[in-house]
Amino acid sequence: MFVNREAELHLLEQRFASGKAELFVLYGRRRVGKTELLTRFCAGKRHIFFVADLGSEISLRASLSAAVNAALFGPGQIDAVYATWEGLFRALAESARTERLVVVLDEFPYLIAAHPPLASILQRA
């Protein structure tokens, strides 16, 4: 259900329309509609929506690699796993140079738990 999130959706649309690369952090209590808000925002936009789980660092990197490859090259086109997080983020940045790309990393704390340096790697990227 999507209730009373119009202001947040409008804010996300404004950020998307800015034309600049932006990082938007959305946080809050569990079960309040954050994922649904982001799902609505991504509709009709080129996007990668990745939901992390409690997996290992390599399984998360492999899963995100698959999502990135499917979005950039088409489903089933490339099965490669990026060797590093830096390489994965570099591929995203390169792709976003020619067209707006929304990347959602849902349940980001699970990614950090699996690979603590990830926040600083993302910051550098």
| Structural tokens at position 46 | 């080129």
Give the phi and the psi of residue 35 in degrees, each rounded to 5: -65, -40
Can you say how many angstroms the Cα of residue 40 is from the centroid of all Cα atoms in its chain?
Answer: 14
Note down pLDDT in tens along the chain; length 125 residues: 567 788 999 999 999 999 888 889 999 888 888 999 999 999 999 999 999 999 999 999 999 999 999 998 888 888 899 999 999 999 999 998 888 999 999 999 999 999 999 999 998 88
| Structural tokens at position 113 | 């738990």
> Which residues contact residue 70 at a Cβ distance below 8 angstroms, ignoring those fewer than 6 apart?
76, 77
Burial class (CB in 10 A: 0-12, 13-18, 19+), 41: buried
Spatial distance between the Cα atoms of 69 and 58, rounded to a whole number of angstroms: 16
How much is the pTM?
0.90
